[in-house]
Structure 1
Amino acid sequence: MGGLGCCCRDGGSGAKSARRQAKRGSHHMIPVIIPSYKKPEQLAKCVAHLKSQTVEVETFVRDNSTDNIYFTAAINEGLLNYLDKDCEYMLILNQDMYLEPDAVEQMVRFMDSHPQCGIGTPLQLHSENPDYVVYAGCLEAFPFGKHQQGPISQFTEDAPLFWGNGACMILRKQMIREIGLLDKNLVFVASDSDYCFTARARGWQVWRIASARGVHEHGASGADGNAEMDLLKINDMLYFGRKWLTGGLYREMAAEGDNCTPEAIDTIMNQLAHAAADLRQASLKPEDVSSYNDEAISLQQAGRYEEALVKCRQAASIAPADARTHHVMGFILQTQGQFDEAVESYRRAIELKPDFAQAYDHLGVALSELGRCDEAVESHSKAIELAPDCAGAHNNLAIALGSQGLIDEAIAGYHQAVRLEPDLVDAHYNLANLLRDRGRHAEAIAAYRHAIQLKPDHAEAHVNLSRALREYGRLDEAIRYCEKAVTLAPHLAEAHNNMGLLLRAQGRHERAIASYEKAIRLDPDYANAHWNYSLALLSCGRFTDGWREYRWRERARLGAILDSQREESAGWDGSPFAGKRLLIRYEQGMGDNLQFVRYVPMVKARGGTVIFETLGALLGLLNGFDGIDELVEASPDGRPTVEFDLDVFVLDLARIFGTTVETVPADIPYLYADRAKVDHWSDRLGDGFKVGIVWAGSPRHTNDANRSCSLKCFAPLSKIDGVRLFGLQKGDAAAEAGQFEMPMPFTNLGDELDDFADTAAIIENLELVISVDTAVLHLAGAMGKDVWALLPFDADWRWLRDRADSPWYPTMKLFRQSSPGDWAGVFDCVAAELAECAAARGMHVNG
């Protein structure tokens, strides 16, 4: 029956099997799938034992003797044959496994009583000593697994396993439908453990069934040993290792032990890769160009890049016009970061084979790495023209389009990739990242979930899904996914950094600090972790440590801009600078500049000329500020527009002057309104208890969704008799004033404000300013006006924690959310206190 699955029901001998009526129970027939390879006497003995089973069985024999498709393909052929037939379970069985008469019945009974068990395996007894068990389960995962062996008296109890041995496994058909067939990328080694890992990752259990037993002539049915078979085995091990063992899921699922450490796993994987490379090299023939290329790829996978390139060059010397050789060389060069050389190799391959779609695709990847995005898009597009059904090319084109800012086109490209290949994990993951960057969180979350469903140990997908959930306001769920990411990849710094963000968002600052410290230990150059660490330290009032870490913002937030500027300038360290020109650089937001301009007089005291750089909206307000010799507008690209000898970024001044919570320079006021403008607005605003309000900051701020609220939240304040509300709102949020009618008179003046000098003049005429965390808040505080800050639960670092006052602004009072998103509670407190203020001025509250 070479090469064909044989399902026999006539009770004959050899490869044919008997079908019997069940003696007990009412179960449907149990299919038994046997991959057979030579040794017909074993198969006959195996089938004879099946004929004596106490339940109805039907054998499906896939004879690999003349047309060897190996274990995995043979098993899948059998599973497919019975997938739509009337059975609850299927049994896979080696031809050298001889089951006791009630073994199948015992396995069925166990599966019936354990509905969460997807895979069960019996005790495998020694062929010469049936009182000794050669396999009772595996302690840890293949290829580091330790079989449980010993006298049969040690294995009288059923027990959960990490994986079952493919010599005999009963499979629940419902599970097969859910998780699919055995991984076709595995030939015959590790496919059983891989299937068990997949089952467990999808929530199914694997058990040892102690009451089911059979004799196993261990290893006797294996294929003839030769270099080709050895190479297939090692390739299976490598594939399994890369799929499972190099990720954290293995360490989560396996027992603790020295061979579970990342170092031990890496060592074994390297040994396997080297063994594969050596086997391929030993089988090479000088005239076989294809073998040279295959060996080059094997060496590259083993990390032996120079040897791999040598093989490519040898192949090129034998057949210089072989396009694949140049393509392989390009790929190896690309993996080493030699992108210019890779481009040359890919172009040579295309010159030799103009319809070489894969070479065009890989050329596009190399061009993208060189920043040559237009050429990359052209190259990927050509690959798709040649191979329109290549999902990988559509994915790579989408990456290139996204880097060009062509977001809609990139999203369409990812969608096309997953239409062509629904299981392409990278396309789902890349699509999710792009959607998240665009603020389309619901779609991003769905795409991340799809990627994780396809690859449950995708740690990066878990991290980014948790980020999207956090940004979407689903903190508890975000933490669960981040915890899973840490479990999967405990050495992934990004996971610990994200955990810090989540913990801080919940107000658990000390635990957040510990997470950031772990991330930094794993990756000492991780700029984002350092910066987030600084914000957590500053929030806790640990200013000395916080300012030191805060310097990492230059790489974390402003990145290449600040780095390139640093190369062009000499940073000021606080030393006297008489006779020199010092530029104080603008950075971040206008509120930051209004807060930190207080340090300018202290800078001026060190001598020299002080040049202060800021945005145009602040020029009028800061004109004539004490200590500023020259006031200049910051350029759009962030590069200086004046000559200077030294420079310092404005937010570094707190560190340079050693500011602590106790020594914040708070000589208030330090900002003043123009008298003429004040008089103008005095006439406009009139008398009464005038309160300025701001309900939203810049939507470009990363935390704007949490820090901004709606004008509707202020409605209760407008009901307080005698209180007159004036909006100081600018930007898109100002439109809300025309869309919502306050219960009492309200006027938004935002459209009349040309710059912060106008805003300051209005504030000078107000009795109180109530604002979310925006630049107006800093302006009112710096002017010494009464100001109430409306803060989210996860407030910015400068407002510290668990206090209602601010060392930065003595006239400011802080109103904090008691839980994330709880603006109602904040405004209840604000309304009550405002009513008291009104009453103290001889007013009363309506109703």
Structure 2
Amino acid sequence: MRHHSPSSAPPVDAKALIPGLLASGMAHHSAGRLAEAEQAYRQILAADSQHPDALHLMGVLALQVNKPAVAADLIAQAIRGNPGSAIYFSNLGSALRRLGRIDDSIAACREATRLDRSLADGFNNLANALTDRQLYGEAADALTRLVALRPQAVEQRLLLANTLMKAGRPADAVDALNALLRIDGRNAPALNNLGVCLRKLKRNEEAEAAYRRALEIAPDDAGMLSNYGTLLMELERTDDAIALFRTAIGHKPDFGEAHLNLGLAYRSQMRLAEAVPAMREGVRLCPDLPEAHAGLGELLLLDGQLEEGFREYDWRSRMADFPSPRRDFTAPRWDGVFRPGLTLLVHDEQGVGDTMQFVRFAQIAQARGARVIVECNTQLTRLLDGMPGVDRVIGRTSPLPPHDAHVPLLSLPQELGISLDTIPAEVPYLRTEPGLVSHWGERLAALPASGTGLRVGLVWAGSPEHKNDRNRSLALARLAPLAGVANARFVSLQKGAGAGQAANPPPGMELVDLGPEIGNFADTAAILQHLDLLVTVDTSVAHLAGALGRPVWVLLPFFPDWRWLHGTDASPWYPTMRLFRQERPRDWEPVIARVADALRAMADGVRPA
């Protein structure tokens, strides 16, 4: 009998296995069995090389094992097969962000959120990419949508508040944190951040309450202790602040920011011997922290250690609160080397007083062979035009002329190797316009009682935008003791904040208000030629008088700006300047009394006309 072999089973359609393989792969994937998941996805792709879900999930796997380039390629293939999938675009955005392609990541995440307004991950990834680009306002909008989709997401609410702060919206950040605290009332980081936001809003009592609540929950948290100390510094409770900074360092000795804050607290008390080591420790622990370097630089400059001080102070432009915006120059930063034919662009960066003080160094650069172009605030172009050592002056808004290198004005002493003993102090180095000098001479001659006794200029307030203005400026009424000086007549040069006080001088003070007639610093310079003395707080006019070689007395707060050094009534920058220092913080009465006595002695030697 003949036997027949059994017939073969019909072939199985490989594509028919895909749903089962996909379910199996996803189950393995969710359980963290990545090798088994990958095997299932590869089987799917062997049957259908363009299967969108398998390509996408393989891309997700690649992301998980830190292969973003492979992930981006696989997910892009998946999108070509299914361009309407929001989750594909969201994960593509995540891969592109890992590759540093931030703009492409933002575009992919925007498409994800357009396709599905309920996709929380899409808004999360979009917020991450926008934050990378420092588009904090848009990032906050994305996070707002995210927390609406996930109302109990505490970490995302905390991130939203932080992003709102970076976007300059502290009041909205407070609202976000209060919403978070209604969900989790013992969230110490939220309470800490609430303190930060409230401090920003000058709601200091509420800020202190928030910090206290945070520290009740996490009493050993060094960051919270340091933040609370910073608030107490602003409240002028410096001893309490120092205690908190020390406690923070005790809990976390390598906390560089706490050492920095401790140095700042000692600095405010003029305890330089303790401030400098604390700041040096901050620099050692946080070598990339600009605030630590710049803070150390200011301390060293205050102590007269100019060479190291200017080196450290060169970090100032990297600080988050540096007043001048970062700029891009086509020419390189000058390295201090004088090359044949060098054209050097020297640009100002902070206040007009700084420019008047440091423009003197242009003469040294020119004498060593450079052609010097000075770019400055437009308020100063007329005053500086034609100054010895400056080949050309341009306003900050003017197009930059060709140049070989650029340097910030306050970095010139560093590049020139200036020390305390080599400050060029020959005055005057600024010039006045003869026509303006003549005009203001006629104007002053026409004033009532002109020609009798001393003519004393007064400036009592600086810009309220200055970070230390509350300590350096005062009210005209505080200068009342000067009115008792016989044989002295006063002229107000006050502009801006406080100028209106000239209409109501202290009783007995004969004060002529020229402020409304002064158009620019060239006018002020011309007026100073007709005054016997300028009495001023620490403002730009003090620098102008000093640079013109005119007699000037400067009233300084207890903790002065670094340029005035400490422990001396003379200035190495201006030989015609005399410094009157506070002996205690915010205590102006003894200072003004000394000024009145000195003015009386000066006036006694002047015979009435």
- The SS at the match of 1:452 is helix
Identify which range, 554-563 or 611-620, moves more after superposition. Answer: 554-563
Q: Which amino acid aligns with 2:218?
A: K
In the TM superposition, 1:686-701 aligns within 5 A as 686-687=450-451, 688-701=453-466
Q: Residue 477 of structure 1 aligns with which residue?
A: 240
Alignment of 1:453-472 (within 5 A): 453-472=216-235
1:603 maps to amino acid: A
Scaled by the length of structure 2, the TM-score of the pair is 0.79
Query: How far is 1:307 from its partner?
Result: 9.8
**Is the CA contact 2:192–2:211 (under 8 Å) kept in the aligned structure 1?**
yes
Q: Which amino acid aligns with 1:759?
A: T
Q: Percent identity?
A: 37
Q: In the alignment, is residue 523 of structure 1 matched against residue 255 of structure 2?
A: no
Bigger share in helix: 2
CA contact (8 A) 1:596 1:651 kept: yes
Bigger shift: 471-480 or 802-811? 471-480
**Correspondence list, 1:133-172, <5 A:** none
1:727-738 to structure 2, matched below 5 A, reads: 727-738=492-503
Structure 1 distance, partners of 2:34, 2:230, is 41
Normalized against structure 1, the TM-score is what? 0.58
Residue 677 of structure 1 corresponds to which residue in structure 2? 436
1:539, 1:449 → 2: CA distance?
A: 35
Alignment match, 1:599 = 361
Matches of 2:482 and 2:229, distance apart in 1: 37
Structure 1 segments, 4+ long, off by >6 Å, are 305-308, 320-353, 557-563
Structure 1 residues 270-419: aligned runs within 5 Å: 287=27, 289-292=29-32, 309-310=64-65, 355-357=118-120, 360-361=123-124, 363-388=126-151, 390=153, 392-419=155-182
Greater Cα radius of gyration, structure 1 or 2? 1
Letter of the 2:531 counterpart = L
SS at match of 1:552: helix
**Structure 2: which amino acid aligns with 1:712?**
A
Q: What does residue 53 of structure 2 align with? A: none
1-structure distance, mates of 2:485, 2:89: 79
Report what 1:274 is aligned to: none
> Could you tell me whether the CA contact under 8 Å between 1:326 and 1:348 is conserved in 2?
yes
Name which of 561, 566, 574 aligns with 1:801. Answer: 566
Partner of 1:585: 347
Show the counterpart of 2:604: 839
**Structure 1 match to 2:426:** 667
Q: Is the 8 A contact 1:293 1:325 kept in 2?
A: no
CA–CA separation in structure 2 for the residues paired with 1:424 and 1:324: 32
Q: Distance in 2 between matches of 1:573 and 1:334?
A: 36
Work out the CA distance in 1 between the residues paired with 2:242 and 2:61: 44
The aligned counterpart of 1:628 is 390
Residue type of the partner of 2:586? Answer: G
Aligned 8 A contact 1:585 1:613 in 2? yes
Q: Tell me the distance in 2 between the aligned counterparts of 1:515 and 1:453.
A: 28
Aligned counterpart, 1:610: 372
Relative to 1, partners in 2 of residues 1:654 and 1:608: Cα closer, same or farther, differing over 3 Å? closer
- Tell me the distance in 2 between the aligned counterparts of 1:375 and 1:797: 40
Separation of aligned partners in 2, 1:338 and 1:610: 41
Q: Is 2:306 aligned against 1:543? A: yes
For the 8 Å contact 1:365–1:396, the answer to whether it is kept is: no
Judge which range, 722-731 or 490-499, deviates more: 722-731
Q: 1:545 to 1:436 in 2, by over 3 A?
A: same
Distance apart, 1:334 and its partner CA: 8.1
Q: In the TM superposition, what is the alpha-carbon distance from 1:812 to its structure 2 partner? A: 0.8
2:399 is equivalent to residue 643 of structure 1: no
Q: Aligned equivalents of 1:563 and 1:378: distance in 2?
A: 26
RCO (CA 8 Å, sep 6+): is it higher in 1 or 2?
A: 2
Distance 1:569 1:467, change over 3 A: farther
- Once the two structures are superposed, residues 635-669 of structure 1 have per-residue CA deviations (whole angstroms, 9 ceiling, x without a partner) of 3xxx9622211222211222233222222111111
Q: Is the aligned partner of 1:777 residue 2:542? A: yes
Q: 1:681, CA displacement in angstroms?
A: 2.3
* Aligned-partner Cα distance in 1 for 2:263–2:443: 49
The letter for the 2-side match of 1:591 is G
Question: Tell me, what secondary structure is at the counterpart of 2:554?
Answer: strand
Letter in 2 for 1:592: D
Counterpart of 1:514? Answer: 277
Distance 1:460 1:362, change over 3 A: farther
Residues 501 and 512, structure 1, Cα contact 8 Å, conserved in 2: yes
Q: 1:432 to 1:731 in 2, by over 3 A?
A: farther
What is the DSSP-based 3-state SS (H/G/I as helix, E as strand, rest coil) of the residue aligned with 1:551?
helix
> Structure 1 residues 341 and 480 mapped into 2: Cα distance closer, same or farther (>3 Å)?
farther
Q: How far apart are 1:784 and its partner, in Å?
A: 1.3
1:224 matched to which residue of 2? none
Which structure 2 segments of 5+ residues have no match? 1-23, 36-59, 69-73, 445-449
- Cα separation, partners in 2 of 1:450 and 1:285, compared to 1, 3 Å: farther
1:702-751 per-position Cα deviation (integer Å, ceiling 9, x unaligned): 22222222222211112222322222222222233346654423233222
Number of the residue aligned with 1:423: 186
2:102/2:133 contact within 8 Å kept: yes
Native 8 Å contact 1:292 1:311 kept in 2: no
C-alpha spacing 1:711/1:293, structure 2 compared with 1 (3 Å): farther
> Partners of 1:543 and 1:725 in 2: how far apart?
37
Q: 1:713 aligns with which of 471, 474, 478?
A: 478
Kindly provide the CA deviation profile for residues 200-238 of structure 1, in whole angstroms up to 9, marking residues without a partner as x. Answer: xxxxxxxxxxxxxxxxxxxxxxxxxxxxxxxxxxxxxxx
Q: 1:735 to 1:440 in 2, by over 3 A?
A: farther
Q: 1:722 is matched with which residue: 474, 487, 494?
A: 487
Per-residue deviation, 1:368: 2.2
1:504 aligns with 2:267: yes
Report if the CA contact (8 A) 1:395-1:427 is conserved. yes
**CA distance in structure 2 between the partners assigned to 1:326 and 1:420 by the alignment:** 32
- Alignment match, 1:90: none
Task: Give the distance between the partners of 1:344 and 1:562, measured in 2 at CA.
Answer: 28
Summarize the Cα distance change of 1:642–1:659 in structure 2 as closer, same or farther, 3 Å threshold: same
CA distance in structure 2 between the aligned counterparts of 1:293 and 1:749, rounded to whole angstroms:
82
CA RMSD of aligned residues (A): 3.9
State the alpha-carbon separation in 2 of the partners of residues 294 and 429 from structure 1: 40
Q: Which residue of 1 aligns with 2:587?
A: 822
| Letter of the 1:495 counterpart | A
The one-letter code sitting in structure 1 at the alignment partner of 2:290 is: A
| Alignment deviations for residues 67-124 of structure 1 (CA, whole Å, 9 cap, x no partner) | xxxxxxxxxxxxxxxxxxxxxxxxxxxxxxxxxxxxxxxxxxxxxxxxxxxxxxxxxx
Does residue 1:764 correspond to 2:529, yes or no? Answer: yes
Q: CA deviation at 1:312?
A: 12
Q: Is the 8 A contact 1:293 1:312 kept in 2?
A: no
Deviation of 1:469 (Å)? 2.2
Over 3 Å counting, the alpha-carbon distance change for 1:330 and 1:565 in structure 2 is closer
Q: Secondary structure at the match of 1:292?
A: coil
Q: Secondary structure at the match of 1:818?
A: coil
Give SS of 1:692's match. strand
**In the aligned structure 1, how far is the partner of 2:575 from the partner of 2:209?**
47
Deviation, 1:374, is: 5.0
Aligned equivalents of 1:549, 1:595: Cα separation in 2: 19
Q: Relative to 1, partners in 2 of residues 1:558 and 1:744: Cα closer, same or farther, differing over 3 Å? A: closer
Equivalent pairs, count:
545
- How many angstroms does 1:337 deviate by? 8.4
Find the residue that maps to 2:428 and give its secondary structure. Answer: coil
The one-letter code matched in structure 2 to 1:292 is G
Q: 8 Å contact 1:312–1:328 — kept in the other structure? A: no
SS of residue in 2 equivalent to 1:287: helix
* Amino acid corresponding to residue 807 of structure 1 in structure 2: P
Say if 1:431 and 1:833 are closer, same or farther in 2 by CA, change over 3 A. Answer: same
List aligned pairs for 1:93-104, cutoff 5 A. Answer: none
Q: CA deviation at 1:561?
A: 7.3
Q: State the AA in 1 paired with 2:311.
A: R
Give the letter aligned to residue 503 of structure 1: Y
SS at match of 1:732: coil
**1:180-259 map, 5 Å:** none
